[in-house]
Amino acid sequence: MSIREKVGVDVGGTLIKAAIHTENDWIYQSFPISQIDDVAGWLTKHSDHRSLCLTGGKASLLQSKMSRSDIYFAPEFLASCNGARYLLTMQQTNTLTDFILTNVGTGTSMNLIKGETQQWIGGTGVGGGTIMGLSRLLTGIHDYDRLVKLAASGRRDTVDLTVANIYEGETPPIPGDLTASNFGGLMGQPSTPSSVDQLASVIGLVAETVASLSVFAAKNAHVDHAVYIGSSFVDNSQLSKIVESYSNYCGITPIILHHGQFCGAIGAALEV
């Protein structure tokens, strides 16, 4: 496949995401970071006469493996924010101008976007890498697609402690199905929960953490939307549902962008 016009590549800690802007549309591709040498060769072969812009923490590493001297670079957070703005324009009836942008990749970063400005406001080490690492530690499963599929059939109530558990026999002041303590239900439990239940609780922990931080950030910045992007949401319905549910419960409107994992790559391409 030949690449036309311009290419943006987001080189992250786990994945390499490419957004190819053709005459009529965008083409998206992703590769594991372990294939960085192959990606360098592929880009060198197909994008010699096309504009190429890199972003992400390992952008310089990818550039060092290529022979091109005319490669552009875009700041990671700026590229992600501009890519998110672009996708919002394409996917939303009403253009959203003020929101928290939460990028759940290997870790999680948050930016405050107001109009044409953007500001990094923080993040957390809890993200997709946590799902992978903690799931492997607990269950030995390290294939992302497999663990996400298994987690979908798991029960968190065998692992987590809910508000209803704390207020047993009484009416709690907040919804009883909210989590009081992730993995807290294991205290005093005589048997070990199944692997699928553990996986479901790992995803629940990550989802509630990133949603909580996004809600706090939105309220502090006086905005009422949180836009969620990142590879962690791909084919992960459980993560998406929990993030949406908790955000809505706290009064913040969540938007999980389609193709949101490519925001950085799109933003990079838009720079050239």
Please report, for the domain that includes residue 49, its CATH number. Answer: 3.30.420.40
**Residue 150 sits in the same domain as residue 213:** yes
Q: Exactly one of 23, 76, 168, 244 is catalytic; which is it? A: 76
245 shares a domain with 167:
yes
Q: What is the pLDDT, as a whole number, of residue 4?
A: 52
> Is the pTM higher than 0.95?
no
In the predicted structure, residue 238 carries a pLDDT above the cut 70? yes
pLDDT at 5: 79
User: Both 139 and 72 in a single domain?
Assistant: no
Please indicate, yes or no, whether residues 70 and 137 belong to a single structural domain of this protein: no
Task: Give the pLDDT of residue 94.
Answer: 75
36 contact partners, CB below 8 Å, separation of at least 6: 11, 16, 58, 61, 62, 65
Domain assignment of residue 106, yes or no = no
Q: What's the number of domains the chain is made of?
A: 2
The per-residue pLDDT of the chain, averaged, comes to 94
Summarize pLDDT for 139-180 with one digit per residue, the tens: 999 999 999 999 999 999 999 999 999 998 899 999 999 999
Beta-bridge partners for 112 = 100, 119
pLDDT given for residue 3 in this prediction: 43
Identify whether 76 is a catalytic site residue: yes
Interval 95-117: pLDDT, tens: 899 999 999 999 999 999 999 99
Q: Is residue 202 part of a domain?
A: yes
Count of CA atoms in the C-beta half-sphere (13 A) of 47: 28
Q: Say whether both 187 and 71 belong to one domain.
A: no
Decide: helix, strand or coil at residue 271: coil
**What pLDDT sits at residue 49?**
72
Look up the domain containing 13 and give its range: 6-77+263-270
pLDDT at 2: 45
Q: What is the pLDDT of residue 65?
A: 94
Please, what sign has the CA dihedral across residues 110, 250, 219, 172? negative
Residue 17 lies in a domain: yes
Type of residue found at 190: P
